């Protein structure tokens, strides 16, 4: 079986990471979205919901069987132990499903697997040995704020709060093998930049 190139893709909120992931997918890479997998686990019928119910009780479950995200956010914010308890349920499921998707991509002959992981730098010890390259999508912090405010309706202070909970720009860049500098670029310019980097391994 052909061994695909494994790229870890990350970037702060508003950096353009999701757009870069889509460009790579359009080039034929298999993109595995860790966030989407994590969210699916706590939807109605989600694989993690029996454990969430057992650990946290019916107060954390909506009538349709999905996790009550608002209630859980409030709980984990107030109780760090609850956050660790929830992560102990979710993270092994995410790791298992990522592994299954990567196996399927390799078996189907994909040249490149992109692991789209927002918190890659925060969990770098777990990921570094599994990846051939780490790509960081980067831009100035004030650009991040402007982009997120424009698309989400959040206030600049709310965006700054989210950014404060993520790895710093310096921490991300220190882990990067490839930096996609997405500042003052239109979509065509970003595509050219990604295509150039992706050509190195035959995409």
Classify residue 186: in a domain, yes or no: yes
Q: For 162-167, what is the mean pLDDT?
A: 84
Whether residue 119 is found in the same domain as residue 168: yes
Same-domain check for residues 200 and 121: yes
Q: Are residues 104 and 119 in the same domain?
A: no
**Which of 59, 87, 109 delimits the end of a domain?**
109
Looking at the fold, whether 127 and 198 belong to one and the same domain comes out as yes
Q: Is residue 34 part of a domain?
A: no
Same domain, 122 and 90: no
pLDDT of residue 173: 94
Question: 203 pLDDT exceeds 80?
Answer: no
Domain that holds residue 161: 1-29+110-203
Whether 82 is in a domain gets the answer yes
Q: What is the pTM of this model?
A: 0.85
Q: Is the pLDDT of residue 202 over 80?
A: no
pLDDT at res. 25: 94
- Count up the domains in the chain and report the number: 2
Same-domain status, 136 and 166: yes
pLDDT band at 161 (very low <50, low <70, confident <90, very high): confident
With bands split at pLDDT 50, 70 and 90, how would you rate the model's confidence at 154?
confident
- Is 75 inside any structural domain? yes
Same domain, 114 and 198: yes
Place of tokens 């595509």: 191
Confidence of residue 127 (pLDDT cuts 50, 70, 90): confident
Instruction: Report the CATH number that the domain containing residue 198 is assigned in CATH.
Output: 3.40.50.300
Q: Which residue has the tokens 């404060």?
A: 164
Question: Does residue 160 belong to any structural domain of this protein?
Answer: yes
Contact 23, 33 (CB under 8 A): no
Q: Please say if the pLDDT value at position 1 is more than 70.
A: no
Of 88, 173, 106, 92, the C-alpha closest to 135 is 173
Q: Are 101 and 176 part of one and the same domain?
A: no
List CB contacts of 34: < 8 A, sequence separation 6 or more.
Answer: 94, 98, 115, 116, 117, 118
24 in Cβ contact with 203 (< 8 Å): yes
Report pLDDT digits (tens) over 39-98: 999 999 999 999 999 999 998 999 999 999 888 888 888 888 888 899 899 989 998 999
Beta strands in 23-170 (DSSP E): 30-33, 112-116, 133-138
pLDDT of residue 74: 86
Question: For 129-152, what is each residue's pLDDT tens digit?
Answer: 889 999 999 999 999 999 999 988
């Amino acid at each position: 079986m052909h061994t695909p190139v494994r790229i870890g893709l990350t970037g702060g909120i508003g950096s353009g990471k999701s757009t870069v992931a889509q460009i790579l997918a359009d080039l034929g890479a298999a993109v595995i979205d860790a966030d989407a997998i994590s969210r699916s686990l706590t939807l109605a019928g989600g694989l993690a919901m029996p454990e969430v119910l057992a650990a946290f009780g019916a107060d954390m479950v909506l009538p349709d069987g999905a996790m009550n995200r608002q209630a859980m956010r409030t709980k984990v914010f107030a109780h760090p132990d609850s956050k660790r308890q929830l992560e102990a349920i979710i993270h092994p499921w995410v790791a298992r499903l990522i592994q299954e998707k990567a196996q399927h991509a390799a078996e189907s002959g994909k040249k490149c697997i992109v692991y789209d992981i927002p918190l890659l730098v925060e969990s770098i010890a777990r990921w570094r040995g599994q990846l051939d390259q780490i790509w960081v999508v980067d831009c100035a912090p004030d650009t991040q704020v402007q982009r997120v405010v424009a698309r989400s309706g959040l206030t600049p202070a709310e965006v700054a709060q989210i950014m404060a909970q993520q790895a710093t720009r310096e921490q991300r860049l220190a882990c990067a093998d490839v930096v996609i500098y997405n500042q003052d670029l239109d979509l065509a310019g970003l595509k050219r930049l990604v295509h150039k980097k992706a050509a190195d391994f035959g995409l």
